[in-house]
Amino acid sequence: MTTTTEAEPQATPTTQRGDRIFAGLARGAGLFILAALAAVFIFLAVEGLPGINKPASNYAPLDSFLPYVGRLLYGTIFAALIALAIAVPFALGIALFISHYAPKALAVPVAYVIDLLAAVPSVVFGLWGARTLSKALVPAQQWMDEHLGFIPFFAGPASVTGKTVLTAGVVLAIMILPIITAITREIFAQTPRLHEEAALALGATRWEMIRYAVFPYAKSGMVSAVMLGLGRALGETMAVAMVLSASPVVTLNMISNTNPATIASNIASSFAEATPAKLSVLIATGLVLFAFTFAVNFAARAVVARSERRLTR
């Protein structure tokens, strides 16, 4: 809604100038953001693209870019999937607890505690993971080696320090738990009362009511929450870099001393002594990471948009 200038005999040139300047500032800020993002792409490309073609020594232990970044991508996805596998069931359970099971007096503090978890900086998680959690998980990992060693994930031999990709996965899981829980519990709480009551009136138990009314309503929201959590886990650097001493390897073994590095952790641990050539390579891997997380986030939003269109029929 714009002000009408002809109705105001007092409309001064200063007023119009003020409006123009202000509007210009606002628009300028928007354009600045456009420019910033364009700059991100351009600079990363300029510095990073040459990294695809450097001498083979830069891709140790391999000898060209694609396998190098391929292994790092594997490590990134592997660690993120471990984190998801642990975080998602707990996040859904906690979200259900807050929205449907807990007495009001308990639901609010629990939600608050989970949100506080999101405030802890990643480097503190990394420190705690490397110094405390890894030691605490050694007995469990030894147990897995003994009793589940036939499964490739637990082939072992179990690391004595506990600094394994499993531990890193647990730390990542704790870090992405808050965002998945926060989105999912919002959606659960917004289930239309009408459908919950329809299920209850048919003689459904609480769990049956949740299956009939809550989950169908929340399905796409849950998917998008999980994907946002995945995006967060893919980009996380410090937790993995501090817990693991890793290198670009491909392995399913979660509890041994040989751990796959992620793109982000590899950059963090290699860049300090990196030659300019190696720096290019690292930036190139960063571009790959960016593209990948962008694709995941984009898919998450597409899922939400599609279901919103379906619900508003």
Segment 43-102, which members bind other proteins (CB under 8 A)? 43-44, 46-48, 89-90, 92-94, 96-97, 101-102
- Of the residues 56, 60, 131, 151, which one makes contact with other proteins according to CB under 8 A: 131
State how far the Cα of 291 lies from the Cα of 293, in Å rounded to an integer: 6
- Of the residues 6, 13, 55, 119, which one makes contact with other proteins according to CB under 8 A: 119
Cα 67 off chain centre by: 24
Please state the closest distance from residue 245 (CB atom) to other proteins, in A: 10
For residue 25, which amino acid is it?
L
Q: Kindly indicate which of the ranges 67-75, 147-155, 157-165, 194-202 contains the residues binding other proteins, using the contact rule CB under 8 A.
A: 194-202
Could you say which residues in the range 146-185 bind other proteins, by CB under 8 A? 174, 177
Please state the closest distance from residue 48 (CB atom) to other proteins, in A: 7
Please state the closest distance from residue 9 (CB atom) to other proteins, in A: 10
Complex with other proteins: residue 40 or 250, whichever CB lies closer: 40
Could you say which residues in the range 223-282 bind other proteins, by CB under 8 A? 231, 234-238, 241-242, 264, 267-268, 271, 276, 279, 282
Q: Residue 13 interacts with other proteins (CB under 8 A)?
A: no
- Of the residues 142, 195, 223, 249, which one makes contact with other proteins according to CB under 8 A: 195
Q: Residue 198 interacts with other proteins (CB under 8 A)?
A: yes
Q: Residue 1 interacts with other proteins (CB under 8 A)?
A: yes
CB-based burial label for 128 (10 Å; 0-12, 13-18, 19+): middle
Complex with other proteins: residue 18 or 152, whichever CB lies closer: 18
Please state the closest distance from residue 258 (CB atom) to other proteins, in A: 20
Complex with other proteins: residue 116 or 252, whichever CB lies closer: 116
CB 78 within 8 A of CB 171: no
